[in-house]
Amino acid sequence: MLILITFFVRGQRQRRAFDSANCPEDGDYAAQIAILVDPSDTLTSVQEGSGAPRVLEAIENGAPETAEIRIYTVGHAGRGNTRAVFRVCKPTHPDNVSSLSGNPQLAERRYRDEFLGPLEQALATLLNVEGDSISPIAEAIQVAAVSTFQPRAADMPRQLLVVSDMIQNSGNLSFYRDPVDFGPLSRSPDYGTLRVDLAGVEVSVFLLARRGRAGRIQAGTLRRFWEDYFLDQGASPLARPRWIMVEG
């Protein structure tokens, strides 16, 4: 009887339908991850070479099988474009495929050629584009979160990974023009247009180090601003943004 049940469960898994991005068509993801890339300023060669690997490491170590991953850019999302520039789901890692019940070699090729390689190429390409004239980070976070984290299943793990210098620069708010202080912004009548539900979302910021005036802004109250902002969007106080420096 146990053998029959095992084959039944395995058959059910094999019959599960997946789309061209390796995502289950029933939408039953193990997790949802939004990656927001901000090429608002040209990256140094060191940052270009280390930015994508740092994000990939976080995905490989922290994303479960069938996690949905979507990539957005700050420029496009901040201008209201809700379409992800890249989407893929994480397949089974070949180390977890037994030769008794599967094909480890096939799993290795699928993992490398249909997931890891395309994801790495997408990140590297987006981090190597010409800088944008604006950096509407808060607006882009709103679009990426609303577009990715659906439906809002309470028990589904969700992550937001932001690769940026975190220097907001838009018509609504610019750190080059306005004080980097969350208090006045939160009391502004226009603040409601920048809010988004991030309840239960784990946030990681891959902070791109800058020089000159931008570097001086980063050395001030920048981190405090964004921690206050993310907490005010509903992120758990137990999951404050994780900061990862991308030097260069």
According to the model, what pLDDT value does residue 127 have? 86
Domains assigned to the chain:
32-246 (3.40.50)
Map tokens 């912004």 to a residue. Answer: 185
| Cβ atoms < 10 Å from Cβ of 46 | 12
Can you tell me the distance from the alpha carbon of 239 to that of 201, in angstroms, rounded to the nearest whole number? 8
Given a cut of 70, is residue 237 above it in pLDDT?
A: no
> pLDDT tens digits, residue range 109-134?
999 999 999 999 999 999 887 777 78
**What's the rounded mean pLDDT across residues 48-59?**
84
According to the model, what pLDDT value does residue 9 have? 41
- Among 69, 244, 70, 46, CA closest to 128: 46
Least confident of 1-5, 88-92, 94-98, 139-143: 1-5
% residues pLDDT > 90 (the chain): 64
Of the two residues 42 and 206, the one the predictor is more confident about is 206
**What's the rounded mean pLDDT across residues 91-102?**
85
Given a cut of 90, is residue 36 above it in pLDDT?
A: yes
- The 3-state DSSP class for residue 95 equals helix
According to the model, what pLDDT value does residue 222 have? 97
Q: Indicate the pTM of the whole model.
A: 0.89
